[in-house]
Amino acid sequence: MLPLALICLLQAHLAYAQASAPLSLSLNSLYSSYPTAHARRPALFSIPVAQNASVSVALCASAGSPPRFLLSNTSAVTHPTDGDLGEEGVYEIVLGSEGYGWWTGPLSEGGFLSVENMGQTPFEIGVSGDGVMHNVTDSFPLLGDTTNNQALLFSPPLAPSPPLAVPSYPNYTLPPANLSYPSAPSSLQFNVSIFVAPTSALGSASMPLTACGMRSSTGDIKGSFMYDETGSASDGLWLKDEDGWRWQWLISGLQPQTNYTAYVVQNSTKVSQPINFVTKSATFSCPIVHSLPYCPSIAYAVPISPPLPPSIAHTANTLPLSTVSPLLEVLSNFTISLLTSACGRDEYSPLVSCADCQAAYRKWLCTIWFTRCSEGADSTATPTVNTAQQPLSSALAPQASGAPPRSPGLPPFPQNFDTLLPCLETCTAVDRACPNFIGFTCPIPRFNARSSYGVGFIDSGDDGVQGQGSTGVAQDQWGNVWCNSG
Ligand X SMILES: *[C@@H]1O[C@H](CO)[C@@H](O)[C@H](O)[C@H]1NC(C)=O
Which chain residues interact with ligand X by CB under 6 A? 51-52, 73-74, 89, 102, 105-109, 131-132, 135, 137-138, 171, 173, 178, 180, 189-191, 199, 259, 266-268, 270, 276, 278, 321, 324-326, 328-330, 333, 378, 380-381, 478-480
71: phi then psi, degrees, rounded to nearest 5: -125, 135
Smallest separation (angstroms) from ligand X to the CB of 336: 7
Smallest separation (angstroms) from ligand X to the CB of 306: 20
Nearer to ligand X, 89 or 306 (CB): 89
Smallest separation (angstroms) from ligand X to the CB of 185: 13
> Which residue's beta carbon is nearest to the bound ligand X?
105
How far apart (Å, rounded) are the C-alpha atoms in residues 174 and 332?
Answer: 10
Three-state secondary structure call for residue 391: coil
Q: In 3D, which of 280, 258, 321 has the Cα closest to residue 417?
A: 280
Nearer to ligand X, 118 or 355 (CB): 355
Smallest separation (angstroms) from ligand X to the CB of 1: 49
Q: In 3D, which of 268, 109, 92 has the Cα closest to residue 195?
A: 268
Smallest separation (angstroms) from ligand X to the CB of 64: 27
393 DSSP assignment: -
Three-state secondary structure call for residue 212: helix
Nearer to ligand X, 254 or 449 (CB): 254
Q: Are 430 and 421 in contact (CB under 8 A)?
A: no
Reported residue count of the chain is 486
Q: In 3D, which of 385, 375, 364, 390 has the Cα closest to residue 297?
A: 364
CB neighbour list of residue 16: distance below 8 Å, 6 or more residues apart: none
Nearer to ligand X, 7 or 49 (CB): 49
Residue 367 class from Cβ within 10 Å (0-12 exposed, 13-18 middle, 19+ buried)? buried
Smallest separation (angstroms) from ligand X to the CB of 135: 4
Nearer to ligand X, 161 or 178 (CB): 178
Nearer to ligand X, 367 or 428 (CB): 367
